[in-house]
């Protein structure tokens, strides 16, 4: 693909174009966040397709050497998380959960790509589950950021994508991800990759994966609570 340096340059360029041109009419906080969503849109759907293809054409072997495609996908993902991490550190440092997520994910990707040299197929599977919701989530987020620019259109898009996004995210992070994490844990923590991968590293990986799943589940549960609370409020207003 781009290589790590090229991918970093690509995401920085895309972020800059989004901030200075595409979303120049947005207010400052939403302008930064919308630019972040833009690079996320360039990352998530593409790596989902590439990771799914890699899994489809490769033998399921969780301790296999990393392939050229897997290395390229990981470098592209590392570049995205690096650029988006700087976005949070510079412009929205209060979102500590996102900062921690990006640091942890970049560590997993970088350690697999540049240190272990094995096990990328597990990360491809995790990327599929994590990023399959990317397009929907970023559309949902962008529609919120656009409320003060095009309120009618933005609200219509937001309401249309809200439930599909919540359902897809709930299934991916609440059902598929835990099942996948269990399968990976049985393999790695059972010592079946000890010949090519340090046990301490895969323990770190699985700890990060479990914490990420828990955080995702708590986040989507909170979204559902707010959604049903808003529905009840709307219905009560109609009755009155």
Partners of 118 in beta bridges: 65
CA distances from residue 102 to 78, 107, 212 in whole angstroms, order as listed: 9, 8, 10
239 pLDDT higher than 70: no
pTM over 0.85: yes
Specify whether the CB–CB gap between 68 and 121 falls below 8 A: no
- Per the prediction, the chain carries an average pLDDT of 94
Phi, psi of 52 (to 5 degrees): -65, -40
Helix 120-131 / helix 177-188 crossing angle, nearest 10 deg:
170
**Confidence band of 236 (pLDDT split at 50, 70, 90):** low
Number of Cβ atoms within 10 Å of the Cβ of 225: 10
Position 238 scores a pLDDT of 47
Helix (H, G, I), strand (E, B) or coil at 76: helix
**Domain enclosing residue 184, as ranges:** 4-239
Q: For residues 45 and 18, what is the distance between their CA atoms, to the nearest angstrom?
A: 18
Number of domains in the chain: 1
Sign (positive or negative) of CA dihedral 138, 140, 145, 150? positive
**Confidence band of 232 (pLDDT split at 50, 70, 90):** confident
| Cα dihedral 20, 24, 26, 29 in deg (nearest 10) | 20
Question: For 129-158, how does the pLDDT look when each residue is reduced to its tens digit (9 = 90+)?
Answer: 999 999 999 999 999 999 989 999 999 999
Percentage of the chain with pLDDT > 70?
A: 98
Question: For 184-212, how does the pLDDT look when each residue is reduced to its tens digit (9 = 90+)?
Answer: 999 999 999 999 999 999 999 999 999 99
181 pLDDT higher than 80: yes
Radius of gyration, CA atoms only, the chain = 19
Question: For 84-143, how does the pLDDT look when each residue is reduced to its tens digit (9 = 90+)?
Answer: 999 999 998 888 888 999 999 999 999 999 999 999 999 999 999 999 999 999 999 999
């Amino acid at each position: 693909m781009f290589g790590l340096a090229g991918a970093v340059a690509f995401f920085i360029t895309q972020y800059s174009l989004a901030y200075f041109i595409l979303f120049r009419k947005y207010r400052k906080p939403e302008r930064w966040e919308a630019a972040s969503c833009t690079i996320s849109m360039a990352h998530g759907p593409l790596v989902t397709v590439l990771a799914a293809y890699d899994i489809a054409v490769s033998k399921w072997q969780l301790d296999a050497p990393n392939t050229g495609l897997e290395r390229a996908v990981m470098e592209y993902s590392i570049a995205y998380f690096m650029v988006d991490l700087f976005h949070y550190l510079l412009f929205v440092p209060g979102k500590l959960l996102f900062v921690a997520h990006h640091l942890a994910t970049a560590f997993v990707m970088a350690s697999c790509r540049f240190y272990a040299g094995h096990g990328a197929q597990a990360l491809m599977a995790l990327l599929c589950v994590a990023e399959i919701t990317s397009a929907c989530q970023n559309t949902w987020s962008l529609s919120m950021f656009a409320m003060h620019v095009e309120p009618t259109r933005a609200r219509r898009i937001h309401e249309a994508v809200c439930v599909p996004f919540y359902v897809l995210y709930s299934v991916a992070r609440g059902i598929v991800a835990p099942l996948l994490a269990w399968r990976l844990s049985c393999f790695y923590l059972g010592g079946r990759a000890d010949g090519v991968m340090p046990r301490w590293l895969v323990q770190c990986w699985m700890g990060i994966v479990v914490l990420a799943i828990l955080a995702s589940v708590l986040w989507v549960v909170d979204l559902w609570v707010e959604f049903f609370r808003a529905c009840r409020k709307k219905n009560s207003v109609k009755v009155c």
